[in-house]
Structure 1
Amino acid sequence: MIRSLLRRRNPRRGWSNTVAATGWGESTYAELAWDKSRGASKRWAIIGVVVGGLIGVIAFAPAAWLAGAVASATNQRLLLADARGTVWSGSAVPVLTGGPGSHDASALSGRMEWTLGLKGLGLELLARQSCCLNGTVAVQVKPGFGRMNVTLVPPLGGWIGQWPSAWLGGMGTPFNTLQLGGAIRLTSPGISFESVQGRWLVRGRADVELVNASSRLSTLDSLGSYRLTLNGDPSGSGASQLTLSTTEGALQLSGNGTWGANGVRFRGEARAASGDDAALANLLNIIGRREGARSVISIG
């Protein structure tokens, strides 16, 4: 029986010796390690291709993407038509419209050029347009957790730009009826808009001036010049102040209001200067609700 047991054990010792002699075990482990390494290399190669593709898409993102974002943010009222180049460096023709479904549109002469780059923890947009902007105008965008800050950085002197009043006709009623002449001028010492949980807060000040205005609804060569001032609320309550005043002219405009979470609320009036009632009668009927000699302006 002992010899029988020894004979049964000998084949096992022979098998072990064969494995040790041929190195089959080490070869199998090496192949497994090679397969694992090759699989990891393939995965890293795929990741590299994907990352490289994303970087390429971002670096060469077409200008049309920025145009689409602007159109969406303004509910189709401001369009960047014929956009060329990339998101980072491109040009387009600014067009004002009456919004979705509107047949009114008005384009500026000449193209607006821009460059977009990193600025600190955000982005900075530099815009130039020979017809209308005062040199290079900077807009800085800083995203955050649940908020976003947009700051307009004016050139020296605070004068940002000037546009023909006729451009407003593209927005439809009542501007297409008024057919304004003159110029619109934007000035500001600096102003920022911050979105916090869907609510916009304004800090700083901006003045929109209507200079030497005219209208086809009046026989007067000039109606006058006017200023609409937006004053942000430093307390952060979200209620920014609006003030309308007349600089000079036959048409006298005045009013006050707010811009906040509930939109724009404004109350004002329009009157004709002494002796100009007949020349401004049609215009006063269009501007607001007539109450005797004045026309009441009510928004919101």
Structure 2
Amino acid sequence: MAVPSFFSRRPAWLKGAGAVTTRWLESTLEVARWENMRKAGKRWGKWGAALGALVGVVLFAPASWLAQGVVELTGGRLLLAESQGTVWQGDAVAILTGGPGSRDARALPGRLAWRIKLKTFGVRVSLQQDCCLPTPVVLDIKPGWGRIRAEIKLSPGGQEAELASMGAVGHWPAAWLGGLGTPWNTLQLGGLLRMNTRDLAVEWVQGRLRVEGQADLSLDNVSSPISTLDRLGSYRLDLLGDAQGQLQLNLTTLDGSLQLTGQGTVGPGGTRFRGMATAVEADRGALDNLLNIIGRRAGDHSVISIG
């Protein structure tokens, strides 16, 4: 079948010098398109490399970054020394100090291990240490508009699906407090510090601390080289969050020759505490020097004042 001549006829603009110019223009446009594609590929490659590096930094951020954050958050009073692992999972030696410039420092035996997971509405931090936190302690941290809330829970069976809002958090040697400096470094306390909580939550609202729930700190079988007595007694400090978010403090003596009592608050204005220390009559001579150290002496008792 013959093809009509007008289908095989070349347009005038493709003939002669015009045809050469058009082919050159098409070739130039093709080169330009290829160059643009090459540059776009490079740009995407750079963005991909940067994104990959960012993901790597986030996933494998060293544990030392977390340790530095803890130092800043606690004013240099809690150190995570010899940290190993990553921000998300690692361990370190927990050390109490008196803050920047302090020469006092006390480390706990063993290593404190942590695991951090991202949740839908926050972060979950799990802490465990053989010596002092045998039951994993879980902190559910939930950020909000101008606030951060941390709920303290326990994982008795090691399963995060079965968290408890009350129970024994842990126990620590009282000597660990000596790392905080005065007066703890002078008292050189012996004994055991235990902590129990019930529905405890701490919230920072626009820079102010609010506390909900309750906790109690017990100091069992306390001793000190300042006294000639082998044992001073056992004590309990109750902490209760009130309706205003302040923390109410109440110190009582469970038993012993050194009698301690006191009340106070922790709130936006800082810590305020007023207490009194006395000695049972039979051991007053053995405790006289200790009473001079722990407070302002007033007759046969000592006044403890903070804030």
What TM-score do you get using the length of structure 2 for normalisation? 0.88
| Equivalence for 1:60 | 60
Per-residue Cα deviation, 1:272-293 (whole angstroms, up to 9, x for no partner): 1232211111111111111112
Superposed, 1:1-300 pairs within 5 Å as 15-20=17-22, 23-156=23-156, 158-233=167-242, 235=243, 237-300=244-307
**Does the CA contact (< 8 Å) of 1:134 and 1:159 recur in 2?**
no
CA shift at 1:17, angstroms?
Answer: 4.4
CA shift at 1:168, angstroms?
Answer: 0.8
In structure 1, what is the Cα distance between the partners aligned to 2:153 and 2:120?
A: 15
In structure 2, what is the Cα distance between the partners aligned to 1:60 and 1:18?
A: 59
Mind listing any 5+ residue stretches in structure 1 that lack a counterpart?
1-9
**Does the CA contact (< 8 Å) of 1:253 and 1:271 recur in 2?**
yes
In structure 2, what is the Cα distance between the partners aligned to 1:18 and 1:165?
A: 94
Q: Could you say what secondary structure the match of 1:285 adopts?
A: helix
**Does the CA contact (< 8 Å) of 2:135 and 2:154 recur in 1?**
no
**Does the CA contact (< 8 Å) of 1:238 and 1:261 recur in 2?**
no
Q: Could you say what secondary structure the match of 1:280 adopts?
A: helix
Amino acid paired to 1:293: D
In structure 2, what is the Cα distance between the partners aligned to 1:70 and 1:232?
A: 24
CA shift at 1:18, angstroms?
Answer: 3.9
Q: Could you say what secondary structure the match of 2:133 adopts?
A: coil
CA shift at 1:35, angstroms?
Answer: 2.1
CA shift at 1:208, angstroms?
Answer: 1.0
In structure 2, what is the Cα distance between the partners aligned to 1:93 and 1:245?
A: 32
CA shift at 1:142, angstroms?
Answer: 1.6
**Does the CA contact (< 8 Å) of 2:212 and 2:245 recur in 1?**
no
**Does the CA contact (< 8 Å) of 1:192 and 1:202 recur in 2?**
yes
Q: Report the identity percentage.
A: 52
CA shift at 1:119, angstroms?
Answer: 2.4
Instruction: Summarize the Cα distance change of 1:145–1:15 in structure 2 as closer, same or farther, 3 Å threshold.
Output: farther
Per-residue Cα deviation, 1:214-253 (whole angstroms, up to 9, x for no partner): 11111111111111111112x3x34221111111111111
**Does the CA contact (< 8 Å) of 2:93 and 2:107 recur in 1?**
yes
Per-residue Cα deviation, 1:25-64 (whole angstroms, up to 9, x for no partner): 3323322222222222111111100010011111111111
In structure 2, what is the Cα distance between the partners aligned to 1:31 and 1:144?
A: 53
Amino acid paired to 2:55: I
In structure 1, what is the Cα distance between the partners aligned to 2:140 and 2:271?
A: 25
RMSD (Å) for aligned C-alpha atoms: 1.9
In structure 1, what is the Cα distance between the partners aligned to 2:20 and 2:89?
A: 71
Greater shift in the superposed pair: 149-158 or 87-96 = 149-158
What TM-score do you get using the length of structure 1 for normalisation? 0.90
Mind listing any 5+ residue stretches in structure 2 that lack a counterpart?
1-11, 157-165
Amino acid paired to 2:205: V
In structure 2, what is the Cα distance between the partners aligned to 1:198 and 1:283?
A: 38
In structure 1, what is the Cα distance between the partners aligned to 2:201 and 2:40?
A: 49
**Does the CA contact (< 8 Å) of 1:268 and 1:297 recur in 2?**
yes
